[in-house]
């Protein structure tokens, strides 16, 4: 659900007001987003079960301060919460809406951060309200208060006078002490859905008699990222470039906000995969000349990569304003040209570039090199994949040809199965020590066969295994483990199997080491022997004996 409907402020007829102020909701009925929050607060006021302190948190522009003011009005309105002022505002609602009510104090914590400011507030709270039912303190961006200021508030918040209410708003809930949060009734305000925000903007332009393309509105919704205030400010800014009756187009919005169409990024990626270097550079320069910021460019690439990976699970509907029908079809076709492993490689490389982009002075040059590297990575991996496929096909064809020739010339005494055994006998005996590595015991056996005793020692004594799957080993961190273990083992595994293995550390505890397992097995085995009648019989005869191990002695015939 979206944040709010088109609500009218007390002096909404003033054409000079910006949209964000002109269309700020004034009652609970104006609020159509955060339905659970608004209904809960409305019922608590109606049933006179209001909290001592309220805490509203969420991203910018989703209505934290608006909720605080509506709550303050509902507590102090002369007509009561069921008949909250809509058109003809009472004195209390009018003063609260204009932020000049004597009993409703709205404070910006960014400028009033000290303990002395809070002490003045507490001192002021000792006096009963002058004209309203409740004295209310609205503290915006409350996380900016100092630690001492928060501590000064604690006692008053927990047991305030019956006429006093605190309403806090913040964008950074993690910076508020838990002792303060626990004394508040907390409400988390979510982002506004794209569809509801789009419908809201449509109502705005209808009331304003403006002419705006649907795609232009969708672009504003996308850029606003779920913030109503951002969406209204962007719409206000875009409409300033037009006269009353002129149409605001999608292309004009792109130029105003310095935003490039997603199809430009898709075309750029198509050229990267096709190896068209000149077209790739020209495509990037067009985006650069359009004013696209480096961080925005890289984040758009990440979004395209996400769609490439998950396009089969994405459906176009009214809530998805990121992809047009044509873009969806292009990405669908493009996803068939690139392997999942390559997409993930591009993703990791893009994240790495985002971290390193601020190191260089000329970020434009860095991004040009980045897209060239993407092209190189794709071409190199493609050549490797094609080479492996060709090699496998040639090898299979050669085997088939040899088998066919052998079968044709074999005598009738030999059957085909005997000939196949003779044909592949030499291949299987090339390396008698070669065994498949399916678990850690196979790996230890391979180390013994290859005389890699240091690796064997580490595997048996210092490796706590988490998972061992095909070409991937995950172990828990062990301080005793040799610092070169991962590098040495990866190198040897590639040498032995001609395949890249991934060896990674995990936060999980992992299994016992091989040596520890053997010791546990030995203890359990000896424990079983100690509990036998034979051992107890010997113990009665020789009280000082101690069982250390058991060995089987083979008798001579």
Give residue-wise pLDDT tens across range 92-133: 888 888 778 888 888 888 887 788 888 888 888 888 888 888
At residue 551, φ and ψ (nearest 5 deg) are -130, 145
Task: Kindly list the distances between the CA atom of residue 208 and the CA atoms of 242, 295, 338, 482, 505, in Å, as whole numbers in the listed order.
Answer: 13, 35, 47, 71, 59
> Would you say 151 and 124 are in contact if contact means Cβ atoms under 8 Å apart?
no
Beta bridge pairs of residue 135? 164
> Would you say 34 and 63 are in contact if contact means Cβ atoms under 8 Å apart?
yes
Q: What is the mean pLDDT of the chain?
A: 80
Q: Looking at 233-242, 282-291, 436-445, 532-541, which range is the least confident one?
A: 532-541
Distance CA 26, CA 74 (A): 10
Higher pLDDT, 419 or 205: 205
Residue 146 three-state SS: coil
Strands 135-140 and 104-108: parallel
User: What are the pLDDT digits (tens) for 476-522?
Assistant: 877 788 878 888 888 888 888 888 888 888 777 788 888 888 888 88
Band of pLDDT at residue 274, cut at 50, 70 and 90: confident
Determine the pLDDT at residue 431: 47
134-168: burial string, b at 16+ Cβ within 10 Å, e else:
bbbbbbbbbbbbeeebbebbeebbeebeeebbbbb
CA angle 332, 336, 339 (to 5 degrees): 125
Cβ neighbours around 323 below 10 Å, total: 20
Q: Look-up: residue for tokens 């509907």? A: 317
Determine the pLDDT at residue 169: 93
Higher pLDDT, 506 or 321: 506
Distance CA 338, CA 343 (A): 7
Q: Looking at 207-216, 347-356, 537-546, which range is the least confident one?
A: 537-546
Band of pLDDT at residue 458, cut at 50, 70 and 90: confident
Cβ neighbours around 195 below 10 Å, total: 16
At residue 478, φ and ψ (nearest 5 deg) are -135, 120
pLDDT exceeds 50 at position 423? no
Tokens of 131: 């004209």
Higher pLDDT, 412 or 64: 64
Determine the pLDDT at residue 429: 41
Strands 53-57 and 185-188: parallel
Determine the pLDDT at residue 180: 92
Task: Kindly list the distances between the CA atom of residue 323 and the CA atoms of 261, 266, 318, 514, in Å, as whole numbers in the listed order.
Answer: 10, 11, 11, 53
> Would you say 169 and 56 are in contact if contact means Cβ atoms under 8 Å apart?
yes
Determine the pLDDT at residue 394: 53
Dihedral sign for Cα 450, 452, 457, 462, please. negative
Share of the chain above pLDDT 90, in %: 8
- The answer to whether 34-188 and 440-511 have equal CATH topology is no
Q: Looking at 201-205, 376-380, 416-420, 469-473, which range is the least confident one?
A: 416-420
Strands in 53-57's sheet, in edge-to-edge order, are 104-108, 135-140, 164-170, 53-57, 185-188
Instruction: Report CA dihedral (368, 371, 375, 377) to the nearest 10 degrees.
Output: 110
Beta bridge pairs of residue 188? 57
Provide the residue ranges of all domains of the chain, joining segments of one domain with +: 34-188, 194-257, 265-379, 440-511
Determine the pLDDT at residue 557: 44
CATH topology of domain 34-188: Rossmann fold (3.40.50)
User: How many residues appear in the chain?
Assistant: 557
Beta bridge pairs of residue 136? 104, 165
Task: Kindly list the distances between the CA atom of residue 386 and the CA atoms of 308, 338, 381, 392, 497, in Å, as whole numbers in the listed order.
Answer: 21, 13, 9, 10, 20
Q: What is the mean pLDDT of residues 357-362?
A: 84
Q: Look-up: residue for tokens 């102020």? A: 21
Distance CA 157, CA 344 (A): 50
Band of pLDDT at residue 404, cut at 50, 70 and 90: low
What CATH class is the domain 194-257? mainly alpha
Residue 74 three-state SS: helix
Distance CA 272, CA 275 (A): 5
Determine the pLDDT at residue 167: 93
Determine the pLDDT at residue 321: 61
DSSP readout, 378-415?
HHHHHHHHHHHHHHHHHHHHHHHHHHHHHHHHS-TTS-
> Would you say 285 and 349 are in contact if contact means Cβ atoms under 8 Å apart?
no
Determine the pLDDT at residue 35: 82
Q: What is the mean pLDDT of residues 140-164?
A: 89
Band of pLDDT at residue 219, cut at 50, 70 and 90: confident
Nearest to 270 by CA among 185, 187, 332: 332
CATH topology of domain 440-511: GMP Synthetase; Chain A, domain 3 (3.30.300)
Residue 166 three-state SS: strand
Distance CA 41, CA 45 (A): 6
> Would you say 437 and 493 are in contact if contact means Cβ atoms under 8 Å apart?
yes
pLDDT exceeds 50 at position 393? yes
Cβ neighbours of residue 416 under 8 Å, at least 6 residues apart? 407, 410
How many helices (H) and strands (E) the chain has is answered by 23, 10
Distance CA 240, CA 237 (A): 5
DSSP readout, 269-310?
HHHHHHT-HHHHHHHHHHHHHTT--HHHHHHHHHHHHHHHHH
Residue 34 three-state SS: coil
Write the CATH number of the domain with boundaries 265-379: 1.20.272.10
What is the chain's alpha carbon radius of gyration, rounded to the nearest angstrom?
36
Cβ neighbours of residue 65 under 8 Å, at least 6 residues apart? 138, 140, 169
Tokens of 143: 């996380």
Nearest to 15 by CA among 210, 201, 202: 210
Band of pLDDT at residue 185, cut at 50, 70 and 90: very high
User: What are the pLDDT digits (tens) for 256-268?
Assistant: 887 777 788 888 8
Cβ neighbourhood burial of 537 (10 Å; 0-12, 13-18, 19+): exposed
> Would you say 115 and 173 are in contact if contact means Cβ atoms under 8 Å apart?
no
Tokens of 162: 């019956």
pLDDT exceeds 60 at position 312? yes
> Would you say 222 and 323 are in contact if contact means Cβ atoms under 8 Å apart?
no
């Amino acid at each position: 659900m979206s944040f709010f409907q088109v609500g009218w402020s007390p002096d909404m007829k003033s054409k000079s007001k910006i949209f964000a102020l002109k269309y700020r909701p004034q009652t609970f009925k104006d609020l159509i987003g955060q339905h659970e929050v608004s209904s809960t607060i409305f019922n608590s006021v109606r049933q006179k079960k209001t909290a001592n302190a309220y805490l509203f948190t969420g991203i910018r522009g989703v209505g934290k301060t608006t909720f605080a003011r509506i709550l303050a009005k509902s507590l102090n309105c002369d007509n009561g919460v069921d008949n909250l002022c809509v058109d003809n505002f009472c004195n209390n609602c009018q003063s609260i809406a204009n932020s000049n009510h004597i009993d409703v104090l709205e404070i910006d914590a960014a400028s009033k951060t000290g303990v002395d400011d809070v002490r003045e507030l507490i001192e002021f709270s000792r006096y009963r309200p002058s004209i309203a039912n409740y004295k209310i303190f609205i503290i915006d961006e409350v996380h900016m208060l100092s630690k001492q200021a928060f501590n000064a508030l604690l006692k008053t918040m927990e047991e305030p006078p019956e006429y006093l209410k605190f309403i806090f708003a913040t964008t950074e809930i993690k910076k508020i002490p838990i002792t303060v949060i626990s004394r508040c009734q907390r409400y988390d305000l979510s982002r506004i859905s794209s569809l509801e925000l789009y419908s809201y903007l449509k109502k705005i332009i209808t009331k304003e008699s403006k002419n705006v393309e649907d795609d232009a509105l969708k672009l504003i919704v996308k850029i606003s990222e779920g913030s109503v205030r951002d969406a209204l400010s962007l719409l206000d800014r875009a409409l300033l470039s037009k006269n009353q009756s002129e149409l605001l187009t999608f292309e004009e919005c792109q130029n105003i906000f310095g935003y490039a169409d997603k199809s430009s990024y898709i075309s750029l990626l198509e050229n990267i995969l096709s190896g068209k270097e000149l077209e790739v550079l020209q495509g990037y320069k067009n985006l650069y000349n359009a004013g696209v910021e480096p961080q925005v460019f890289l984040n758009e690439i990440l979004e395209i990569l996400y769609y490439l990976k998950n396009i089969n699970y994405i459906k176009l509907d009214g809530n998805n304003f990121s992809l047009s029908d044509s873009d969806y079809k292009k990405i669908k076709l493009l996803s068939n040209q690139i392997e999942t492993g390559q997409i993930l490689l591009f993703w990791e490389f893009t994240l790495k570039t985002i971290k390193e982009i601020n190191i260089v002075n000329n970020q434009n040059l860095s991004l040009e090199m980045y897209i060239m590297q993407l092209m190189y990575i794709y071409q190199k991996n493609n050549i490797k994949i094609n080479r492996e496929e060709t090699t496998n096909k040639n090898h299979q064809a050669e085997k088939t040809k040899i088998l066919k020739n052998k079968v044709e010339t074999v005598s009738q005494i030999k059957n085909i199965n005997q000939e196949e055994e003779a044909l592949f006998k030499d291949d299987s005996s090339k390396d008698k020590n070669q065994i498949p590595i399916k678990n850690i015991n196979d790996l230890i056996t391979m180390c013994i066969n290859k005389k890699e005793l240091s690796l064997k020692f580490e595997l048996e004594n210092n490796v706590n295994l988490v998972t061992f799957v095909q070409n991937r080993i995950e172990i828990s961190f062990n301080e005793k483990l040799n610092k070169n273990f991962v590098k040495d083992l990866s190198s040897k595994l590639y040498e032995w199997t001609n395949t890249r293995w991934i060896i990674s550390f995990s936060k999980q505890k992992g299994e016992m080491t091989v040596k520890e397992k053997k010791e546990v097995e030995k203890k359990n085995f000896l424990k079983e022997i100690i509990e036998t009648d034979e051992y107890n019989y010997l113990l009665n005869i020789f009280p000082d004996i101690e069982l250390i191990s058991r060995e089987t002695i083979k008798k001579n015939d």
